[in-house]
Amino acid sequence: MTEKDFLPNAYANLPARGKVKWKAPSNIALVKYWGKRANQIPANPSISFTLDACATTTSVEYTKKEDISQFSFDLFFEGKPKEDFKPKILTFFERIEEYLPFLKKYHFIIETSNSFPHSSGIASSASGMAALALCLVDIEKSIDKGITDTFFLKKASFLARLGSGSACRSVKGDLVQWGEHKGIAESSNLYGVDYPFRVNPVFKNFHDSILLVHKGQKQVSSTVGHNLMHDHPYAERRFAQAHDNLDKLKKVFESGDLEEFVNIVESEALTLHAMMMTSMPYFVLMKPDTLQIINKIWNFREETNVPICFTLDAGANVHVLYPESVKEKVTQFIQDELVAHCENGHYICDRIGSGAKKLIVHEE
Ligand code: DP6
């Protein structure tokens, strides 16, 4: 599919008003998206586990308006008006207007909240943009009844990408791939797809315990971060590596080879940070506690043979990944050894999830 396929047919009738509500999860990349071209086109393919507990719930109430010359919306975050989120939403609306030409015809009341604490250092852009994109395509669906379920999810992922790249991997579950890759025929730079090959059951109920090492604002916004890959001395090699790792994961997902899984996932995490450390300007986003956690994970794995590993986002928090079969042992290990490295002892127990859900709207 191309961008043009997401342009809608002329709308026949616009409903006067309505309300929709969606809950979209966060996701954690195994092969990282880092570097992009114009229009949110990724520089390399990525793949992620969709999460379950970490999610954003968003409702959008829409009322037809007279003045159709500009966008109009009110935004509430966790029940309170949130002016500082507005510019991001406005940019998003501008980017997606050609694909949803009804946007200027309505006034919207957007209410959004996260299941995880604000300022936990967990990126909410993936779940937030996915939830909003789903609400907006749902409104389009009430205008154009011919939209199929498959197209609906594809368009939601397509639009979510225009809000935040990784958000396109937060519409579906449980393993989502995004970005053209020769080994995956259905792969696209425009939206996320279900991972099409066999996945060993060991990956079907994987856990992700998110250790909140540092809850402050990110030192580098993802947009700035992605831009650092332009003119980066190692960029081309890195992009090629992401393709190779995706190829390697095919065998790993099929066989359930956790040793190789650990190698690929940890290498991807450290490569992401290596790219930041070797860009100009350069950044170190890991904290001393991040490194201590990593070392403790390595020691624990060495001593016990428990197949746990870590991955990182563009921040200091550590995602600890492990299969269901070792849940008790790892929970104990986290309690005994790792919680001490978390800010105020905070961490979130999450697991692989099945994608976004539509919620019932209760009219007040
Ligand atoms: C390190 O999706 O937040 O989490 O497209 O600029 O919104 P924008 O970037 P974003 O980047 C996420 C980068 C990452 C790796 C990943 O999720 O693949």
- The atom of ligand 1 lying closest to the CA of 312 is 1
CATH-assigned architecture of domain 3-197+354-358? 2-Layer Sandwich (3.30)
Cα 34 to averaged position of ligand 1 atoms, centre (Å): 7
Beta-carbon-side half-sphere exposure of residue 103 (alpha carbons within 13 Å): 23
Determine what percent of the chain falls in helix, strand and coil, rounding each to the nearest 5. Answer: 40, 25, 35
pLDDT of amino acid 363? 66
Question: Burial of 104 by CB count in 10 Å (0-12 exposed, 13-18 middle, 19+ buried)?
Answer: middle
Rounded Cα gap, residues 166 and 151, in angstroms: 19
- The atom of ligand 1 lying closest to the CA of 36 is 5
User: CB under 8 Å to 343, separation ≥6 — which residues?
Assistant: 212, 213, 214, 215
Q: How long a stretch of residues is the chain?
A: 364
CATH of 202-351, one of 3.30.70.1140, 3.40.50.2300, 3.30.70.890, 3.20.20.210: 3.30.70.890
Structure confidence by residue, pLDDT tens digits, 270-284? 999 999 999 999 999
Least confident of 25-34, 186-195, 221-230: 221-230
Rounded Cα gap, residues 160 and 143, in angstroms: 20
Write down the domain spans for the chain.
3-197+354-358, 202-351
- The atom of ligand 1 lying closest to the CA of 27 is 17
Query: Mutual orientation of helices 86-96 and 125-143 as an angle, nearest 10°?
Result: 50
Structure confidence by residue, pLDDT tens digits, 82-134? 998 899 999 999 999 999 999 999 999 999 999 987 666 676 799 999 999 99
Residues with C-beta less than 6 Å from any ligand 1 atom: 29, 32-34, 40, 46, 123, 125, 164-166, 222-223, 226, 272, 313-314
Rounded Cα gap, residues 170 and 334, in angstroms: 27
Please determine whether the domains at 3-197+354-358 and 202-351 fall in the same fold group of CATH. Answer: no
Q: If residue 236 lies in a helix (H) or strand (E), which one and from where to where?
A: helix 235-255
User: CB under 8 Å to 190, separation ≥6 — which residues?
Assistant: 1, 2, 3, 6, 158, 161
CA-nearest residue for atom 3, ligand 1, is: 222
pLDDT at 38 over 90: yes
Among 30, 222, 277, which is best to mutate for testing ligand 1, by the most ligand atoms less than 8 A from CB?
222
Question: What whole-number percentage of the chain has pLDDT above 90?
Answer: 91
Cα 12 to averaged position of ligand 1 atoms, centre (Å): 37
